[in-house]
Amino acid sequence: MPQLRAPATRRERQREATYDEIVQVSTQLLEEGADLSLRAVASRMGMTAPALYRYVANHQQLVDLVAFELDKAATATWVEAASRFPDDDPAARLAVACARFRQWALLHPRQFALVFANPTAEADTERRELLTVSTSGHYFTDLVWQIWERTRFPYPSLDELDPVIRDAVLNPLIPAKSDHIPRDDRGLLWIYMRAWSALYGVVTLESTGHCDPRVIASGQLFRATIADWLGPLGLADDRERLLAIMDEELAAG
């Protein structure tokens, strides 16, 4: 029989509510353009900084907590929007999710920066474990896997990969849903990493304003970047339909 989980105690509920408030207040500070600091969060919550330390021990823990929850909440909106297409149409879902990812980044550039400029490269084991389970990374990699199951687009074998890349796909230190991918098929993750770098790159340029404002407003650089990846993902024959979905999303944004 499944084990029933004991109801949360009053103290546990209070602690969880405090974490929720920390994230809510931090989000408000980001949207207001204010500094995200332990002192600022504590002040807004009516707490002292030492009292806040019982929940987040330092600034990095605060950033990690807020980044994880912002990513989770944002991804939920992309998933909901993409669900207007059925489970057996992951390509359409990916088109919607990419467009909604861009829309979120443009509307909330400081949230985007906090989530995606919070590197894991120098992170300790505990931080890396948290950051590599981020919701968006798992959602996007799973969509790419579902597309591959349908189109069987080519990817390099492990022997064809540079040794560093081979280790990276076998032991990924990025947010990726990969445990279900067989070892010999891990070259698929190299395709994902490259596709993600293209998506992330163009969205970062746009959300930070490091791009011609007319190009940002038109959405054409973003659209062209997505179009460039339809072939490598085995979706060339579906190009017209997918770009029509993309155009609909860009117009709505």
Q: What is the CATH number of the domain that holds 82?
A: 1.10.357
Distance, in Å, from the CA atom of 98 to the CA atom of 196, rounded to the nearest integer, reads 10
- Tell me: do 36 and 128 sit in the same domain: no
Q: Which residues contact 214 (CB under 8 A, 6 or more apart)?
A: none
- Tell me: do 136 and 44 sit in the same domain: no
Question: Would you say 36 and 66 are in contact if contact means Cβ atoms under 8 Å apart?
Answer: yes
- Tell me: do 159 and 213 sit in the same domain: yes
Residue range of the domain that includes 8 = 1-57
- Tell me: do 91 and 38 sit in the same domain: no
Question: Would you say 94 and 142 are in contact if contact means Cβ atoms under 8 Å apart?
Answer: no
Residue 63, domain member (yes or no): no
Residue 64, domain member (yes or no): no
Report how many domains make up the chain: 2
CA angle at residue 136 from 227 to 17, to 5 degrees?
150
- Tell me: do 113 and 234 sit in the same domain: yes
- Tell me: do 77 and 32 sit in the same domain: no
> Could you read off the pLDDT tens digit of each residue along the chain, which spans 253 residues?
445 556 678 777 888 899 999 999 999 999 999 989 999 999 999 998 889 999 998 998 899 899 989 999 999 999 999 999 999 999 999 999 999 999 999 999 999 999 987 765 455 555 555 555 568 989 999 999 999 999 999 999 999 999 999 999 999 888 888 888 999 999 999 999 999 999 999 999 999 999 999 999 999 999 999 999 999 999 999 999 999 999 999 998 7
The b-or-e profile of 155-173 (16+ CB within 10 A means b, else e) is: bbebeebeeebbebbeebe
- Tell me: do 39 and 114 sit in the same domain: no
- Tell me: do 78 and 49 sit in the same domain: no
Residue 82, domain member (yes or no): yes
The DSSP string of 185-232 is GTHHHHHHHHHHHHHHHHHHHHHTT-S-HHHHHHTHHHHHHHHHTTTT
Q: pTM value?
A: 0.88
Q: Which residues contact 90 (CB under 8 A, 6 or more apart)?
A: 143, 146, 147, 150
